[in-house]
């Protein structure tokens, strides 16, 4: 499959192309470890990202999330920023080790109180709260017992999920179980890029299954607590294209898509692993995995798509490399963001249409979309026109998918503010709001002002 032959006009996004239903939800998104800091404050336990970021050579510049954006202490003024943008909703994550420092057992009342303040602060400002339960900060105590390869972790996650729903369910608008399980399984346990930094296929498959099971148990536990709050999961599905039209590359692209997309969509929405994965790797999946499929396959109220860029792949020779035997291919002379990701908004429309055709899916939210551009503050202004253009193009791509029948209910810009960008440390800036990490000064970028104006235009 190649990108659409009628790509979105890269330079002429009109207000008409960005016109959405009055009920369409606009928001901004963040994640706990990326912004909160205060990693040893008020009884928070250690997470795998604390361990990983303090391990030499794992994160650029030796950066850690120890301080990040100090959101733990600045949450009120940060919510004022969200309110000033005029958006409907704020998507944030709850740090599991703040509530349960050891992952299970004793509940930490000070951690519970922090998210009380945050959620109540959203309500006071007319902002809808969209919490995520797992944005990669697994309690280190559970990791020490096997992490997601241990069924006990899935059971502990269900208990944590029930606590969140019991305590906050009367004040939140939707709950996401997992953010991008691909990242916390394949990127983290096969490629070694994210915490805990492993490179083992068998471990990866066990983690994939453990997270699927945890998701299913979490949904069951939350519905048992309160059945009125919409529940979903966020997936970073890849728009995959072959590097060439060679048969080998076409086959590699199909394998890549199966391993990186269907390995997540098929269990969640079809109660099965992809047959191609079972054929190639079935003997390496956790024993008894079939018995868990009915638990994993829970009815969901929505799913979230995090989207940034297309993926081009080439063949890596299946006869001598483990499935899926695909290699990333970077096309020369194409526009890219500062992190090196290709820009092509038409591929987002392609992906949304393809997934909608392949699966019977609940309504969709675009739960992350944004661009890394590292513009400096010049005389109090951050002139980040490329970020604004990127958002315009991708919002137009969303509108195009809606017009072609995809049920999309909202869009969350990534991110509210510059933050700890995982293995990239503080080098890459995705925020609408600039953060001076030395002073913690927040400054709205031009892209934030554009987004603010777009919100204002909706009420006119």
Helix (H, G, I), strand (E, B) or coil at 130: strand
Q: Domains in the chain, ordered, with CATH? A: 16-264+298-458 (3.20.20.80)
- Catalytic annotation, pick one of 13, 36, 257, 368: 368
E strand residue ranges, 236-301: 239-242
Distances (CA, A) of 321 to 1, 243, 273, 317, 325: 24, 18, 21, 6, 5
Q: According to the 3-state scheme, what is the secondary structure of 371-434?
A: CCCCCCCECCECCCHHHHHHHHHHHHHHHHHHHCCCCEEEEEEECCECCCCHHHCCCCCCCCEE
- Residue 75: phi and psi, rounded to 5, are -55, -35
Evaluate whether 89 touches 27 at the Cβ level (below 8 Å). Answer: yes
Evaluate whether 285 touches 278 at the Cβ level (below 8 Å). Answer: yes
Alpha carbons 139 and 46: distance in angstroms, whole number: 6
Q: Would the pTM count as exceeding 0.85?
A: yes
- Pick from 66, 135, 140, 48: which is nearest to 420 by CA? 66
354 contact partners, CB below 8 Å, separation of at least 6? 1, 239
Residue-wise pLDDT for 289-315, tens only, equals 999 999 999 999 999 999 999 999 999
Evaluate whether 189 touches 203 at the Cβ level (below 8 Å). Answer: yes
Distances (CA, A) of 212 to 90, 111, 273, 364: 25, 26, 11, 19
- C-alpha torsion 52→58→60→64, nearest 10: 10
Residue-wise pLDDT for 193-227, tens only, equals 999 999 999 999 999 999 999 999 999 999 999 99
Evaluate whether 68 touches 434 at the Cβ level (below 8 Å). Answer: no
Evaluate whether 405 touches 357 at the Cβ level (below 8 Å). Answer: no
Question: What percentage of the chain reaches a pLDDT higher than 70?
Answer: 97
Question: What percentage of the chain reaches a pLDDT higher than 90?
Answer: 95
Helix (H, G, I), strand (E, B) or coil at 356: helix
Statement: residue 1 has pLDDT above 60: no
Q: CB count, 10 Å around CB of 10? A: 16
Residue-wise pLDDT for 108-162, tens only, equals 999 999 999 999 999 999 999 999 999 999 999 999 999 999 999 999 999 999 9
Distances (CA, A) of 455 to 22, 199, 389, 391, 414: 11, 44, 16, 13, 16
Statement: residue 9 has pLDDT above 50: no
Per-position DSSP letters for 328-349, written without gaps between them: E-PPTT--B-TT--B--THHHH
- Catalytic annotation, pick one of 13, 180, 389, 421: 180
- Residue 26: phi and psi, rounded to 5, are -110, 140
pLDDT range class, residue 19, cuts 50, 70, 90: confident
Q: Is 180 known to be catalytic?
A: yes
């Amino acid at each position: 499959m190649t990108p659409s032959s009628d790509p979105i006009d890269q330079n002429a996004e009109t207000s008409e192309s960005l016109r959405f239903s009055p009920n369409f939800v606009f928001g901004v998104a963040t994640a706990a470890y990326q912004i909160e800091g205060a990693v040893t404050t008020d009884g928070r336990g250690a997470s795998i990202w604390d361990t990983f970021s303090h391990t030499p050579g794992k994160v650029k510049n030796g950066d850690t999330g120890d301080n990040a954006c100090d959101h733990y202490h600045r949450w009120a003024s940060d919510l004022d920023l969200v309110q000033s943008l005029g958006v409907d909703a704020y998507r944030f994550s709850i740090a599991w080790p703040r509530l349960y420092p050891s992952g299970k057992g004793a509940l930490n009342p000070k951690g519970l109180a922090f998210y009380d303040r945050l959620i109540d602060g959203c309500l006071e400002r007319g902002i809808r709260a969209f919490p995520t339960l797992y944005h990669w900060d697994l309690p280190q105590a559970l990791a020490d017992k096997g992490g997601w390869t241990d069924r006990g972790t899935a059971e502990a996650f269900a208990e944590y999920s029930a606590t969140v729903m019991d305590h906050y369910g009367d004040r939140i608008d939707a709950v996401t179980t997992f953010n991008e399980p691909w990242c916390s399984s394949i990127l983290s346990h096969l490629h070694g890029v994210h915490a805990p930094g492993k490179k083992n296929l068998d471990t990866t498959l066990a983690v994939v299954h453990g997270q699927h099971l945890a998701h299913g148990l979490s949904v069951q536990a939350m519905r048992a607590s309160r059945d009125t709050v919409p529940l979903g999961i966020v997936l970073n599905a890849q728009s995959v294209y072959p590097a060439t039209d060679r048969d080998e590359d076409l086959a590699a692209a199909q394998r890549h898509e199966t391993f990186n997309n269907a390995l997540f969509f098929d269990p969640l929405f079809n109660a099965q692993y992809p047959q191609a994965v079972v054929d190639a790797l079935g003997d390496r999946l956790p024993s008894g995995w079939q018995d868990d499929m009915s638990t994993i396959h829970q009815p969901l109220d929505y799913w979230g798509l995090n989207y940034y860029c297309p993926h081009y792949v080439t063949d890596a020779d299946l006869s001598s490399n483990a499935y899926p035997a695909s290699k990333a291919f970077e096309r020369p002379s194409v526009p890219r963001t500062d992190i090196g990701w290709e820009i092509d908004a038409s591929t987002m429309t392609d992906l949304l249409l393809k997934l909608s055709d392949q699966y019977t899916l609940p309504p969709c939210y675009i739960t992350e979309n944004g661009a890394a551009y590292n513009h400096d503050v010049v005389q109090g202004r951050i002139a980040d026109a490329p970020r604004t253009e990127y958002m315009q193009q991708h919002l137009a791509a969303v509108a195009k998918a809606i017009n072609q029948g995809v049920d999309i209910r909202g869009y969350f810009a990534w991110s509210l503010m510059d933050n700890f960008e995982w293995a990239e440390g503080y080098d890459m800036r995705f925020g609408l709001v600039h953060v001076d990490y030395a002073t913690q000064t927040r400054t709205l970028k031009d892209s934030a002002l554009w987004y603010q104006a777009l919100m204002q235009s909706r009420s006119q």
